[in-house]
């Protein structure tokens, strides 16, 4: 399953405005590499993908600089300028998502979270990781469970992008 297209061009514009070319980026839950397709010409991108058939099936190893096959909770890294959690948090328990975000927050200049609201989903395409554990998310629940994140854009009522707040440093372009 690919991530949703809602608001992606807004996020591309946000990245162009706030990050220099070749800034390092980690795409969490790369799936089919859609974020690479949109930003790979601009950023230096690595990926984490939990469902190994997606790596070969979508040629991720030929897109990203490095691809980690496994759970983001098991991936230890020191720094990325930007981390993108595109359609990832809803697949984790609240506790696990909070821990993963807390770890990431101190290891990046900014992180972007794309999340659907009130969207239950079961396993798809033989991928058990596609199930939405947090299918009950609403904007209010997101803010309660993940305080301190700032809304970037809500392109439709059922979907939004957040980031960790003020991006420090000069904006570009």
CATH number at residue 93: 3.40.50.150
- Is 132 within the bounds of a domain? yes
Helix residue ranges, H only, the chain: 8-18, 34-39, 52-57, 60-63, 94-105, 139-145
Q: Taking 70 as the threshold, does the pLDDT of residue 105 lie above it?
A: yes
- Is 149 within the bounds of a domain? yes
- The total number of structural domains in the chain stands at 1
Owner of token pair 């990050």? 19
- Is 48 within the bounds of a domain? yes
- Is 1 within the bounds of a domain? no
pLDDT score for 141:
94
Chain segment 16-28, per-residue pLDDT in tens: 999 999 999 999 9
State how far the Cα of 77 lies from the Cα of 75, in Å rounded to an integer: 7
State how far the Cα of 101 lies from the Cα of 153, in Å rounded to an integer: 19
Confidence of residue 125 (pLDDT cuts 50, 70, 90): confident
List the Cα angle 111/115/120 in 5-degree steps: 150
Q: Taking 70 as the threshold, does the pLDDT of residue 117 lie above it?
A: yes
Domain that holds residue 17: 8-163
Mean pLDDT of 26-54: 95
Q: Taking 80 as the threshold, does the pLDDT of residue 149 lie above it?
A: yes
- Is 3 within the bounds of a domain? no
- Is 92 within the bounds of a domain? yes
Cβ-proximal residues to 75 (8 Å cutoff; 6+ apart), any chain: 48, 68
- Round the average pLDDT of the chain to a whole number and report it: 88
- Is 2 within the bounds of a domain? no
- Is 120 within the bounds of a domain? yes
Cβ-proximal residues to 30 (8 Å cutoff; 6+ apart), any chain: 36, 47, 48, 49, 54, 58, 60, 64, 67
Chain segment 79-101, per-residue pLDDT in tens: 999 999 998 888 899 999 999 99
């Amino acid at each position: 399953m690919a991530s949703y297209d809602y608001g992606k061009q807004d996020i591309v514009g946000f990245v162009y405005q706030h990050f220099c070319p070749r800034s390092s980026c980690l795409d969490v839950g790369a799936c089919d590499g859609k974020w690479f397709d949109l930003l790979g010409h601009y950023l230096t991108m690595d990926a984490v993908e939990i469902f190994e058939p997606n790596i070969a099936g979508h040629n991720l190893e030929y897109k990203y600089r490095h691809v980690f096959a496994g759970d983001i909770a098991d991936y230890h890294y020191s720094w990325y300028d930007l981390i993108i959690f595109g359609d990832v948090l809803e697949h984790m328990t609240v506790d696990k998502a909070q821990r993963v975000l807390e770890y990431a927050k101190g290891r990046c200049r900014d992180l972007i979270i794309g999340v659907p609201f009130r969207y239950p989903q079961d396993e798809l395409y033989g991928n058990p990781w596609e199930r939405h554990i947090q299918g009950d998310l609403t904007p209010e629940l997101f803010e309660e469970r993940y305080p301190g994140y700032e809304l970037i854009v809500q392109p439709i009522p059922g979907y939004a992008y957040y980031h960790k707040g003020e991006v420090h440093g000069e904006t570009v372009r």
